[in-house]
């Protein structure tokens, strides 16, 4: 191995004592490849296993905590105990290759396609549709439904524990339900779940509290709990960088094991809310300090890309599209073969890359999404 890259292969220990063998994480990415009943497919398990030998930790695609939270075709579920054997297949497939397995749990909220859920009953913090043409107007959740949903996040966590996962990532990013409660665009409530910034924090923080309570009651050994967030929303009435600094300050005080920034570009800078032109990741890292580790991500492909990102002081780096393109990324860097790393999708290598058909079709038919697809 080139000595320059040695820091990427130092073990990392989370606040709860769980150790990763290196600093590289597989980012959570929807793969559209589960069965209609919410169980994982064999192709999906093989896809994860193929990418789990090198990285220190794998974060799964998001799994829905209630039937009406399903956000995509081909998404797997964690909303009933019947699905625990399915979840166990996935956890085992990842762990057998030597990586820690993290289950990402979520509810799609107003982003859920009505056709995917019972009675087309799309719900959110308030009856405010997402921006864009033809977006569905969601129904505002009642106080009792909000409490019930928080319990559902806890129940999905319990199922993840019983299935053998090493941790849970709470998906509070990408415009889904947890973020909808924090956003001033989508949360116009006037009860204890909305209004001021502090009240809009209530749902995310109560979900964290519930997940941690379930972990304390059910996990037999140290169990990782992380939280993913998006720093800003494109709409002018949405979340700003200033809002996010309040959110992560509160999250950092909740003894989480990590915060995971959802960015398309690791080096992106704030749009609005604060007068700071540094990359968002540096501002975030500065805000949380040593209270909680941060995972950085966003259009990192080569070993040099990852090393440069790591040198900002962010202790863990997640690879998304690149780990699909190059499943042996970690091994190649370890073996001093970083020059052989592939950074564009080869459209003739689906079988070799072990990518399920639905995900492969999404990749090759989406110009600009993956390098190499024009």
* Residue count of the chain: 374
Confidence at 134, pLDDT banded by 50, 70, 90:
confident
Residue 165 pLDDT greater than 90, yes or no:
yes
List helix spans (H) across 164-240: 177-182, 197-200, 202-218
- For residue 1, what pLDDT is reported? 79
The pLDDT score that the predictor gives to residue 170 is 98
Write down the pTM of the prediction: 0.97
What is the arithmetic mean of pLDDT over 121-143? 95
- Report the C-alpha gap between 268 and 149 in whole angstroms: 33
Which residues, 6+ apart, have CB-to-CB distance to 235 below 8 Å? 131, 185
Tens digits of residue pLDDT in 215-248: 999 998 899 999 999 999 988 899 999 999 999 9
**Is 90 exceeded by the pLDDT of residue 89?**
yes
Rounded distance, CA 36 to CA 198, Å?
Answer: 39
- In the numeric block, the tokens 């929303």 are attached to 233
Over residues 301-317, the mean pLDDT reads 97
Contacts of 293 (CB under 8 A, 6+ apart): 12, 14, 15, 257, 258, 259, 315, 316
**Would the pLDDT of 43 be above 90?**
yes
Q: Give me the pLDDT at residue 137, please.
A: 96
Across residues 5-14, what is the average pLDDT? 97
Confidence of residue 374 (pLDDT cuts 50, 70, 90): confident
Residue 122 confidence class, pLDDT cut points 50, 70, 90: very high
Q: Any idea which residue has 């019930």 for tokens?
A: 148
pLDDT confidence of residue 253: 96
CA distance 82 to 38: 10
Q: How confident is the model at residue 307 (pLDDT cuts 50, 70, 90)?
A: very high
Compute the distance between CA of residue 315 and CA of residue 309 in angstroms, rounded to an integer: 10
Domain 3-364, CATH? 3.20.20.70
């Amino acid at each position: 191995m080139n000595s320059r890259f040695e820091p990427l292969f130092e073990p990392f220990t989370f606040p709860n004592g769980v150790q990763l063998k290196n600093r590289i994480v597989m980012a959570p990415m929807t793969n559209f490849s589960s069965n209609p009943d919410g169980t994982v497919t064999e192709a999906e398990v093989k896809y994860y296993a193929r990418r789990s030998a090198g990285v220190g930790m794998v974060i799964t695609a998001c799994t829905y905590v209630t039937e009406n939270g399903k956000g995509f075709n081909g998404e797997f579920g964690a909303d009933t105990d019947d699905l625990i054997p399915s979840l166990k297949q996935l956890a085992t497939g990842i762990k057998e290759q030597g990586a820690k397995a993290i289950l990402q749990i979520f509810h799609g909220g107003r982003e859920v396609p009505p056709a995917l859920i019972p009675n087309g009953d799309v719900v959110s913090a308030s009856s405010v549709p997402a921006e864009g043409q033809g977006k569905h107007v969601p129904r505002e959740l009642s106080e009792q439904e909000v409490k019930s949903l928080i319990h559902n996040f806890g129940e999905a966590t319990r199922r993840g524990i019983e299935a053998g996962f090493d941790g849970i990532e709470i998906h509070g990013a990408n415009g889904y339900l947890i973020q909808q409660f924090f956003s001033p665009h989508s949360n116009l409530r006037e009860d204890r779940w909305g209004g001021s910034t502090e009240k809009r924090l209530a749902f995310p923080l109560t979900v964290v509290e519930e997940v941690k309570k379930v972990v304390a009651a059910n996990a037999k050994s140290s169990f990782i709990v992380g939280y993913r967030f998006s720093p800003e929303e494109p709409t002018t009435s949405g979340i700003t960088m200033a809002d996010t600094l309040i959110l992560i300050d509160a999250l950092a005080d909740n003894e989480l094991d990590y915060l995971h920034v959802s960015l398309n570009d690791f080096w992106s800078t704030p749009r609005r809310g604060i007068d700071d032109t540094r990359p968002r990741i540096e501002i975030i890292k500065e805000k949380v300090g040593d209270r909680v580790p941060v995972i950085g991500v966003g259009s990192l492909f080569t070993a040099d890309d990852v090393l440069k990102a790591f040198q900002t002081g962010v202790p863990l780096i997640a690879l998304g599209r690149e780990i699909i393109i190059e499943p042996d990324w970690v091994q190649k860097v370890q073996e001093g073969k970083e020059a052989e790393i592939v950074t564009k999708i080869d459209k003739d290598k689906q079988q070799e890359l072990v990518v399920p058909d639905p995900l492969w079709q999404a990749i090759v038919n989406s110009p600009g999404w993956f390098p190499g697809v024009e």
